[in-house]
Amino acid sequence: MTDQLPPFSFCHSPEQPRRKSQNLNFADGYPEVRDPEKRKKERMALLENMKDYNYEGGACGDCNINTDTPTPKWLKYDRQVLRFFCYFKEPVNERREENFRVRRCTIYFYLEDGSMHISEPREDNSGIVQGTFLKRHKVPKHGGGYIGISNFKVGSDITVYERTFRICSCDTFTKRYFMKRCYEIGKEEDFPDGPVSSFRETLQRHRLKHHKDFANRQFLENDGKVLRFFAVWDDRFSVYGDRHPYVLHYFLADDTIEILEINERNSGRHNFPMLLKRNRLPRELPSDLLGKNLGANLAKSSYYNDSDLHVGSYVRVYGRDMLLHDCDEFTRNYYQKKWGVTDDMLEPVDVQEPAPVLPRMEMPPHNGFGTDIDTMQNCISLIPKAPFKDFDKFFHQDGKVRSL
């Protein structure tokens, strides 16, 4: 009934907003007046080009259903990238083993703006500058225009700046995108082997039983492989001594050792990062400890190697006996594979000590003077202070008397 009263009824519909287009603009620093009819034609042409943007689902799916305006391309295909795996053949001159080299690459095509970039995975000791092969931008085609989705097909070639790439496969998202829009995917292919790979296989077939051990073999086979042990040095027998935790790194490439200090919180010691810099660690203390050529006359067997390190053993580091109580997963797998060490021999040693029991101050019984709080104040401080009054209790219990 209230909606029929005069103050609650309206005789006309709400006024619609009167929008006006912005015709004044600055172009290259100069003011200009834009033609409304020309802008309307440009807007209609843009809508015609965006008619095929039928985005399903996602963050803006409800917006497309409730509104008649299409979703912009940069919003519709945001973070959607097609990935193709390809290769190209690089000619190699003046070499007997190969006349071309197969270089594998990955093509990334961004759906939001039609740009693409090409990257090449990095390989160790390849001798080739790898990484970003082509920076992201819209790549023009030979006959005009730019490279689009229709130019990509698995099992075909694509030319980018006079360099031909052979597309071998693509990822799962790219396959689903092509199948959803009824594009032809093509058949996947295997990456070919270069002449160097075939040449290396022929050398492996005719291995010699006795081969000469060269100096850099250990470095080439074990470069980047590091054994990590967790150690502790108990120095509590000396004056102001303490237990110090360390991390011992053993480099398999050159049999060197470095020892890093673990800085514990509130330890009271200076945060020094390293106890021993990376070098070969002798078993015994050298005689020329203060000389320039430290351990130069020692034999190779006088230094620690990987067979001397295992969980539960002690390592003497220039007069400091350190207990190796644990190691990481890579170190466990290394000793199990090379030395046949069982799991029970690699069990970590429990070096955690129980927390010290701190004495607690007990309050003496009431001495008869004042209240219990007054007695506590005499025990807490040398000069007792008046205890704080409980104003909350005073505010709520004021005027209340308990009868016994």
- Summarize pLDDT for 118-145 with one digit per residue, the tens: 999 988 877 888 899 999 999 998 888 8
3-state secondary structure of 219: helix
Instruction: Indicate the range of 35-44, 169-178, 259-268 predicted with least confidence.
Output: 35-44
Q: Contact, 349 vs 326, CB < 8 A?
A: yes
- Length of the chain, in residues: 404
Residue 62 pLDDT greater than 50, yes or no: no
360 or 297, higher pLDDT: 360
Q: Where are the alpha helices (DSSP H) in 138-189?
A: 172-180
210 or 351, higher pLDDT: 351
Residue 11 pLDDT greater than 60, yes or no: no
* 35 alpha carbon, distance to own chain's centre: 52
Pseudo-torsion of CA 176, 177, 179, 183, nearest 10°? -150
Taking the CA atoms of the chain, what radius of gyration do you get in angstroms? 39
Residue 402 pLDDT greater than 70, yes or no: yes
Distance in angstroms (rounded) separating the CA atoms of residues 55 and 320 = 69
User: Buried b vs exposed e over 282-316: b needs ≥16 C-beta within 10 Å?
Assistant: beeebeeeeeeeebeebeeeebbebeebbbeeebe
Distance in angstroms (rounded) separating the CA atoms of residues 140 and 214 = 51
Residue 166 pLDDT greater than 80, yes or no: yes
pLDDT (0 to 100) of residue 210: 54
Instruction: Indicate the range of 29-43, 97-111, 114-128, 336-350 predicted with least confidence.
Output: 29-43
Distance in angstroms (rounded) separating the CA atoms of residues 292 and 92 = 49
pLDDT (0 to 100) of residue 296: 62
Q: What digits encode the pLDDT tens for the residues 197-209?
A: 776 676 666 555 5
Residue 6 pLDDT greater than 90, yes or no: no
Instruction: Indicate the range of 102-111, 230-239, 285-294, 355-364 predicted with least confidence.
Output: 285-294
Q: Contact, 184 vs 153, CB < 8 A?
A: yes
The mean pLDDT of the chain is 82
Distance in angstroms (rounded) separating the CA atoms of residues 177 and 286 = 69
Distance in angstroms (rounded) separating the CA atoms of residues 258 and 250 = 7
User: Buried b vs exposed e over 369-398: b needs ≥16 C-beta within 10 Å?
Assistant: eeeeeebebeeeeeeeeeeeeeeeeeeeee
3-state secondary structure of 249: strand
Question: In the chain, what are the domains?
Answer: 33-76 (no CATH), 81-196 (2.30.29.170), 219-289+300-346 (2.30.29.170)
Distance in angstroms (rounded) separating the CA atoms of residues 231 and 260 = 10
Decide: residue 255, CB within 10 A, 0-12 exposed, 13-18 middle, 19+ buried. middle
pLDDT band at 364 (very low <50, low <70, confident <90, very high): confident
At position 77, the amino acid (one-letter code) is: Y
Q: What is each CA distance from 140 to 104, 147, 159, 163, 164, in whole angstroms?
A: 22, 6, 10, 13, 14
pLDDT (0 to 100) of residue 375: 77
Neighbours of 83 (CB within 10 A): 14
Distance in angstroms (rounded) separating the CA atoms of residues 218 and 353 = 40
pLDDT (0 to 100) of residue 363: 81
Neighbours of 80 (CB within 10 A): 13
